Amino acid sequence: MEFVDRMLTLRNGVEMPKIGLGTFRSSPEEINLAVTTALQMGIMHIDTASIYKNQEAIGQAIKDTKTPRSKVFVTSKISPYQQGRQKAYAACVDILEKLDLGYVDLVLVHWPGASKTPPDSELNSTLRAETWQVMEEFHRQGKFKSIGVSNYEERHIQELLNHASVPPAVNQFEVHPRRPCTALRKACSSAGIQVVAYASMGAGQLLESQKVITTAHAINRSPAQVLLRWGLLKGCAVIPKSVRPERISGFSEAALLDGWSAEEDEEVLKLDSLEDGHKYCWDPSDIR
Ligand SMILES: NC(=O)c1ccc[n+]([C@@H]2O[C@H](COP(=O)([O-])OP(=O)(O)OC[C@H]3O[C@@H](n4cnc5c(N)ncnc54)[C@H](OP(=O)(O)O)[C@@H]3O)[C@@H](O)[C@H]2O)c1
C-alpha cells in the first residue's frame, strides 16, 4: 500500500504526523540526542507526558534545533495525579511552562482514572469530566491546538461524547498484533477519533517474537519496522520509543511509509495471527 500522505487530518482539521517519537523512560539526559536525531530524520512528532518528567528537556531540544515551531507536533498528557478542576488547571499551565513552545499541539487525558481513587468509584467519572472542561478552555484560548484522551475504553468515550463541547480528536492506547483492539479502533473511527497506537513494539518485548523476526527476515526489514508498518496499515499513528540514534533512524517516514510492496504488506498483515490479547502496559478495563 502506498502511503501518499505523511499526515493524518484530525477532526478539527489539524494535521498530525503519522509517525512520532515516544519518550516514556527517556531521561532528560538522553532526550536531547533522541529529539535532535528524530527531527533530523524528519520525525516531527514527539510524544511526552507530565509523568515522563522530560518535558523541559524536550522543549529545550526542539528550540536548540531551531526547527520552526509550526513544523513540530508535540503531544503531552495530564496525569492521573492531576485530575479534577483545580489540579487539571495547574497541570495545563505546567505543561505550557515546561515545554515552553508557546502552544501545545495535542494534550490528552492520560488515564480515565484518578490516582488514589478506587477504580470502581464514581469519582473517576466526575474528575475526568472536570479535567476535560479545563482542557476545553485551553483549547478555546488556542493554547492546546487539539485535545484528546488516552487509555479510554468505549464506555469512557461514550460518556465523554455525551457532555463534551469539544469532542476528543485522538485516543492513544496500546495496539500491536498481540492486542489489536479491533472493536475499540472501530468505535473510535466511527466517532471521528484518530487512534494513536502505543507500545507498537510491545515495549521492546515483541521484537523478540519468532514470528516477527521471521517476517522481518523474509522481507528484508527490521522487526521494529514490520511491527510499526503493521500499526500504520491498521490506520493508526505510531509513536515508537528509542533513545538510540541508530534505532530512531529506522522509524523515519522514508523507512516506514515509502517503497513497501503489496506483497510485503501482505506478509506484515500475517502478524494478525499473533493475537492473544496480551497486554504489556497498564489496563484501564476496571476503571468506572
Ligand atoms: N498513553 C499511555 O498510557 C502510554 C503508555 C505507554 C507508552 N506510551 C507512549 O508510547 C511510546 C511507545 O511505547 P513504549 O515506549 O512503551 O514501547 P515501544 O515503543 O513498543 O518500545 C520501546 C522499547 O523498545 C526498545 N527499542 C526500540 N527500538 C528497538 C530496536 N530496534 N531494537 C531493540 N529494542 C528497541 C527501546 O529501548 P531503547 O530506548 O534503549 O532503544 C524501549 O525499551 C512511549 O515511549 C510513550 O511515548 C503511552
* pLDDT tens-place string over residues 159-175: 999 999 999 999 999 99
198 is catalytic: no
Annotated binding residues for substrate: 110
Does residue 259 lie in a domain region? no
239 lines ligand 1 (CB under 6 A): yes
- Neighbouring C-alpha atoms within 13 Å toward the C-beta of 62: 26
Task: Supply the pLDDT for residue 5.
Answer: 82
Asked whether the predicted pLDDT for residue 38 surpasses 80, the reply is: yes
Q: In this structure, are residues 54 and 31 in contact, taking their beta carbons and an 8 Å threshold?
A: yes
Does residue 270 lie in a domain region? no
Probe residue for ligand 1, chosen from 232, 242, 279, 283 as the CB with the greatest number of ligand atoms within 8 Å: 242
Which residue's CA is minimally distant from atom 17 of ligand 1? 203
Q: Say which residue the cell 509523568 belongs to.
A: 51
203 lines ligand 1 (CB under 6 A): yes
Q: Work out how many domains the chain is built from and give that number.
A: 1
The mean pLDDT of the chain is: 97
202 lines ligand 1 (CB under 6 A): yes
Does residue 143 lie in a domain region? yes
Nearest to 82 by CA among 65, 95, 101: 95
151 lines ligand 1 (CB under 6 A): yes
Which residue's CA is minimally distant from atom 25 of ligand 1? 204
Asked whether the predicted pLDDT for residue 4 surpasses 80, the reply is: no
Task: Supply the pLDDT for residue 100.
Answer: 98
Does residue 261 lie in a domain region? no
Does residue 267 lie in a domain region? no
- Quick: pLDDT tens for 50-61: 999 999 999 999
Cell of 86: 483545580
Task: Locate the ligand 1 atom nearest the alpha carbon of residue 26 and give its number.
Answer: 39
Q: 166 C-alpha vs ligand 1 centroid, how far in Å? A: 30
- Which three-class secondary structure string do you get for the chain? CCCCCCEEECCCCCEEECEEEECCCCCHHHHHHHHHHHHHCCCCEEECCHHHCCHHHHHHHHHHHCCCHHHCEEEEEECHHHCCHHHHHHHHHHHHHHHCCCCEEEEEECCCCCCCCCCCCCHHHHHHHHHHHHHHHHHHCCCEEEEEEECCCHHHHHHHHHHCCCCCCEEEEECECCECCHHHHHHHHHCCCEEEEECCCHHHHHHHCHHHHHHHHHCCCCHHHHHHHHHHHCCCEECCECCCHHHHHHHCHHHHHCCCCHHHHHHHHHHHHHCCCCCCCCCHHHCC
Task: Locate the ligand 1 atom nearest the alpha carbon of residue 244 and give its number.
Answer: 41
Does residue 113 lie in a domain region? yes
CATH of the domain at 137: 3.20.20.100
37 lines ligand 1 (CB under 6 A): no
Phi/psi for 104 (5° steps) reads -120, 135
Span 68-78, average pLDDT? 98
Annotated binding residues: 110
Does residue 272 lie in a domain region? no
Does residue 74 lie in a domain region? yes
**175: containing domain:** 14-204+234-252
